[in-house]
Structure 1
Amino acid sequence: MYSSTLALAILSSLFATTTATGLTVTTAQGAVAGSLVLPRVRQWLGIPFATAGRWEAPTTPPVRTSTLTTTAYGKSCYQLTTLTTDYYLQFAHQDEALTEGEDCLTLNIWAPSISRPQNTAVLIWIYGGGFQFGATDLKVYDGRNFVRDSDDLIVVTFNYRLNLFGQPNAPQLVSPTASQNFGLLDQKAAIDWVKNNIAAFGGDPNRITIWGQSAGGTSADIWAQAYPTDTTVKGTISSLGDLGSPTLDSAPWATVATAVGCGNTADAAQLTCMKSKTAASLIQAAKDADIIFFKLVTDDIIIHSDWANRMTTGNFLKVPTVVGTVQHEGDALIVGGELAARGNAPPFITTARADILSQLGGTCGASGASADRLNNGVTTWRYQYQAVFPGITTRQDLRAFHGSDIPIIFGTFASVQTSPAPTVPELSLSLYVKNAWSKFARNPATGLTTVGWPTYNPSSDTLVQLGNVQNPDGVTLGSPSLLDATCSHTAELFSVLTQLNTIASAIP
């Protein structure tokens, strides 16, 4: 009896301590117990925000009767990569081993310790990966340093379904009332969960900003056109968001279905058969068939067939927006492709192709996205990240490449680079950018003005250049119109790129 009483007293004391330090928090699904990951930062990892069967819309998780320990990341959603993207992940310091599963709809929260100001702004991160790969349990996406260095800020990251599981392009799932863009539905479920629960963690549900890179930037743009009357998101940061042409492409689905023995007839029996196969076997079949993409689907529910016109005419969510790119977006993709195909990356022609790809796929898209906002009266900022640091850029043919900005913005560069040690400009630029992002999240309408960013105007020097050689640890202003000068010649640039690709393929 004495032993039991003592044990209960100890447990009660521990619970009281974690509650007093704000580490145990009550959500709509039950209590979650986190950790004090730094003296000034609380952390919760792997909180379920939704549950979903295969190729089904997410639903609210069940209510728990016991406290959930959230000190480890949840499973990553299943990944679809190629040799080219494997090289990219290596360059971008994102090639860590992942534990994958279909029960992957979890999120992570970093919040100030309760001794710091509460009721903070909330910055929600959406990872990239072309909607084919990506996960939150990577060192580059750890939010602890962001919150450590930023008062009035909570950082949230979440997983969403990808590739065959995120947007299967299955003819059987085409419906006028239900979307098969399951990954995008997951994103909405995560953002809704944050809206409904973040106050318990010390966050302000009325100050939520979403921020994404690559496919995550596209996701931020999709949110704007999918939910034009939304009242949850108060600002967006979109780094290289480009929706492309998301038409239904059922060929990859048919290829996988045939490969795993489910036949080539798109009927209910085929869908039932596909649901019975293991996730790993479906991914392996896609890889064996050299399938690169399962595209997003135009469903006129989340992605509308007139999405471009909606952006031009102002039928989108008009909240303050930051539009950004990296100066040499194409470097890692072209170099990775060359290494995958031939084992080397010839000088000059590799750089020339990467420069054109950066212009077509990065700069010109940002130009159009910025113009759509500006023309519809949206407060807009535009930046280009230009910094090159030896610990992040590990090859001489890589400059400021796609994703090289992430370790700087998150402040995780020291954990992903083994040598050389971080430089003073690297440290300073990271602090500067984290401060800018946090100020935008605190007040999207004016936050960046307080750090000296001019609002976007293509006819004046309002392009914010981060890490420019003239000011490697801060900002230099440049001309957007000069940067965009070739964007009226995209057809010609694409033709040149095609010719250069032909020449490159002929090099032994």
Structure 2
Amino acid sequence: MKLLFTLVTVALIAGVHSQLTGLVVHTQQGDVAGTLPIPTVRQFIGIPYATAKRWEAPQPAPRRNSVFRATSFGDSCVQTLSASNIQFINLVGGDGINVTESENCLSINIWSPSIRRKQGTAVMLWIYGGGFAFGTSNINGYHGQNIVRDNDDVTVVTFNYRLNIFGQPGTPQLASESKSQNFGLLDLDAAVNWVHDNIANFGGDPSRIILFGQSAGSAAADAYTFAHPHDTIVKGIIEQSGTGANATLNPTAWNTVANAVGCASTAAQFSCMQTVPFRTLENAVISTNSAFNLVMDDITVFSDTATRAATGNFLQVPMIGGSTAQEADIFVVVQELVTLGFTIPVVTELGFTCSAGIAAVNRVKVGVPTWRYQYQGIFPDISIRSDLRSFHASEIPLVFGTYNLSSIPATPAEIALSSYIQQAWVSFARDPKQGLLKLGWPVYNPNATTLIQLGNQANQSGFVLGNGELLDSSCQRVDVLQAVAVQLGGLLLPGKGV
């Protein structure tokens, strides 16, 4: 009896402690229990936000009767770890190769202030990149702890979404039914709705949610604005090195993989593919060198996106958009390491600089508060290759404050720039219309000195202003750039590579 009394007492004390520290939180699917990795930040990771069968739209996660222990990351969605993708991950010092993969991967992660700090915070929902082929929230560089630790009035959320053949199969069977098969984008929709419905209980403000993403994640955020022009949930967008993603109606990749796994082009092809083990499909995608781009379905990705952009038919919320100064550096090195092939001198302009400029101008034309940046920081600890400059994804460790994962010490300028970028991103999240004005950032005008240059040699720990029209001078000859690109071949652009 004494032992039973002791056990009950301990359980009651633990329950009271969890409630007082805010580590047990109610969601629409049931209670979740998180941890306090540091005294000022609560962490809830691996929470199921949806469930989905293969090549079906996500559905709400089932209700639970017991407390879910949100103490470890969920499985990552199935990756396409081709030789070039592995080299990219290695070059940026990523640790996303040895994660556990499965098709039961739709989970969400939350870092929120401890309950002694300000609650009702702005919410930043991160979308990882990876060319819609690989990527996971289970990467140390994407942990939101440091942003929340070093900034008040902010909660950071990350999540997993489906990729490659599992995320956008491009199957003719589904196309004939006029259904969207951009399942990764549908997963984003589900994550946005889950956050809106549940984040208040974690200390977030459901009326202040922004999306921010990089590369394919940025392109997904951009796609969200076109698919949801009248959305009332998302109040701002930060697009880092990615705008409209490549899309296709061509089922060639699907048929190639189907033939490789023994599902010939017959009436039963789709049902046959549904029964193939995911690892077999994953290996077939890699061995056949098949690329699965987003599908132009006129539901989530539109054939008339350019017209919609020009006429303002998109979600008109404030935006920060930009790119890095030498996006292509890392793609050049990947090509050299994998194929000992050519360099790609036009990728930076064609794939990133010009598209960022176009996206910014389209918003400026319809009166959307818009800020445009170019990241120019060069720091030795960001990559294992010292010859890489401001390459694609090099700003991510500064955005998340996770530069300290490297064995090379961060420089004082890098630490200061990271703090400044975080301050800017968080200020925008708190108040998308006015937050950046308070930091002295002018709204973007391509014909004036309003381009925010982050980490420029003249001010490595902050910004200096530049001219967007000058930056985009080569974009006026985009037809020439495209012709060169075709001759070189193999461009790694959003939706096609990283």
Same fold (TM over 0.5): yes
Backbone CA RMSD of aligned residues: 1.4
Residues 220 and 245 in structure 2, CA contact (< 8 A), matched pair in contact too: no
Residues 93 and 384 in structure 2, CA contact (< 8 A), matched pair in contact too: no
What amino acid is aligned across from residue 190 of structure 1 in structure 2? Answer: A
* 1:418 Cα deviation from its structure 2 partner: 1.1
* Distance in structure 2 (CA, Å) of the matches to 1:214 and 1:39: 33
* 1:240 Cα deviation from its structure 2 partner: 2.0
* Distance in structure 2 (CA, Å) of the matches to 1:377 and 1:294: 35
* 1:262 Cα deviation from its structure 2 partner: 1.2
Q: Which residue of 1 aligns with 2:418?
A: 430
Q: Which residue of 1 aligns with 2:320?
A: 322
Q: Which residue of 1 aligns with 2:493?
A: none
Which segments of 5 or more consecutive residues in structure 1 lack a partner in the other structure? 503-508
* Distance in structure 2 (CA, Å) of the matches to 1:272 and 1:426: 52
Over residues 378-404 of structure 1, what are the superposed CA-to-partner deviations in whole Å (9 max), with x where a residue is unaligned? 000000001010011332431110001
Over residues 80-104 of structure 1, what are the superposed CA-to-partner deviations in whole Å (9 max), with x where a residue is unaligned? 1321221111112224321111000
What amino acid is aligned across from residue 110 of structure 2 in structure 1? Answer: I
* Distance in structure 1 (CA, Å) of the matches to 2:489 and 2:64: 56
* Distance in structure 2 (CA, Å) of the matches to 1:499 and 1:229: 41
* Distance in structure 1 (CA, Å) of the matches to 2:350 and 2:269: 39
Residues 95 and 140 in structure 2, CA contact (< 8 A), matched pair in contact too: no
What amino acid is aligned across from residue 407 of structure 2 in structure 1? Answer: T
* Distance in structure 2 (CA, Å) of the matches to 1:186 and 1:147: 25
Q: Which residue of 2 aligns with 1:487?
A: 475
Q: 1:31 to 1:56 in 2, by over 3 A?
A: same
Q: Secondary structure at the match of 2:448?
A: coil
* Distance in structure 1 (CA, Å) of the matches to 2:171 and 2:484: 36
- Aligned ranges for residues 54-73 of structure 1 at < 5 Å? 54-73=54-73
Over residues 230-253 of structure 1, what are the superposed CA-to-partner deviations in whole Å (9 max), with x where a residue is unaligned? 000000001122324412221111
* Distance in structure 2 (CA, Å) of the matches to 1:280 and 1:204: 40
Q: Which residue of 2 aligns with 1:94?
A: 94
Q: 1:236 to 1:444 in 2, by over 3 A?
A: same
* 1:495 Cα deviation from its structure 2 partner: 3.3
What amino acid is aligned across from residue 395 of structure 2 in structure 1? Answer: D
Residues 393 and 400 in structure 1, CA contact (< 8 A), matched pair in contact too: no
* 1:3 Cα deviation from its structure 2 partner: 1.4
Larger CA deviation: 255-264 vs 383-392:
255-264
Indicate yes or no: 2:442 matched with 1:454. yes
Q: Which residue of 2 aligns with 1:368?
A: 358
Indicate yes or no: 2:143 matched with 1:142. yes
What amino acid is aligned across from residue 284 of structure 1 in structure 2? Answer: N
Residues 23 and 36 in structure 2, CA contact (< 8 A), matched pair in contact too: yes
Q: Which residue of 2 aligns with 1:271?
A: 270
Q: Secondary structure at the match of 1:133?
A: coil
Q: Which residue of 1 aligns with 2:456?
A: 468
What amino acid is aligned across from residue 418 of structure 1 in structure 2? Answer: S
Larger CA deviation: 298-307 vs 187-196:
298-307
Q: Which residue of 2 aligns with 1:30?
A: 30
Query: Out of 407, 412, 415, which is 1:418 matched to?
Result: 407
What amino acid is aligned across from residue 280 of structure 1 in structure 2? Answer: R
* Distance in structure 1 (CA, Å) of the matches to 2:488 and 2:179: 43
Larger CA deviation: 318-327 vs 388-397:
388-397
Over residues 385-436 of structure 1, what are the superposed CA-to-partner deviations in whole Å (9 max), with x where a residue is unaligned? 0101001133243111000100011000102x112x1110011001001111
Which segments of 5 or more consecutive residues in structure 2 lack a partner in the other structure? 491-498
Residues 124 and 429 in structure 2, CA contact (< 8 A), matched pair in contact too: yes
* 1:184 Cα deviation from its structure 2 partner: 0.6
Q: Which residue of 1 aligns with 2:117?
A: 116
Q: Secondary structure at the match of 1:317?
A: coil
Q: Secondary structure at the match of 1:168?
A: coil
* Distance in structure 2 (CA, Å) of the matches to 1:242 and 1:122: 22
* Distance in structure 2 (CA, Å) of the matches to 1:207 and 1:218: 21
What number of residue pairs does the alignment pair up?
489
Residues 93 and 140 in structure 1, CA contact (< 8 A), matched pair in contact too: no
Indicate yes or no: 2:282 matched with 1:283. yes
Larger CA deviation: 142-151 vs 83-92:
83-92
* Distance in structure 2 (CA, Å) of the matches to 1:499 and 1:321: 34
Residues 84 and 333 in structure 1, CA contact (< 8 A), matched pair in contact too: no
Identity %: 48
* 1:500 Cα deviation from its structure 2 partner: 6.3
* Distance in structure 1 (CA, Å) of the matches to 2:374 and 2:384: 21
Larger CA deviation: 104-113 vs 88-97:
88-97
What amino acid is aligned across from residue 424 of structure 1 in structure 2? Answer: P
Q: 1:175 to 1:113 in 2, by over 3 A?
A: farther
* Distance in structure 1 (CA, Å) of the matches to 2:244 and 2:16: 49
* 1:305 Cα deviation from its structure 2 partner: 1.7
Residues 176 and 299 in structure 1, CA contact (< 8 A), matched pair in contact too: no
Residues 48 and 106 in structure 1, CA contact (< 8 A), matched pair in contact too: yes
Query: Out of 333, 336, 339, which is 1:338 matched to?
Result: 336
Residues 79 and 133 in structure 2, CA contact (< 8 A), matched pair in contact too: yes
Residues 240 and 366 in structure 1, CA contact (< 8 A), matched pair in contact too: yes
* 1:177 Cα deviation from its structure 2 partner: 5.0
What amino acid is aligned across from residue 406 of structure 1 in structure 2? Answer: I
* 1:299 Cα deviation from its structure 2 partner: 1.1
Q: Which residue of 1 aligns with 2:181?
A: 180
Q: 1:227 to 1:80 in 2, by over 3 A?
A: same
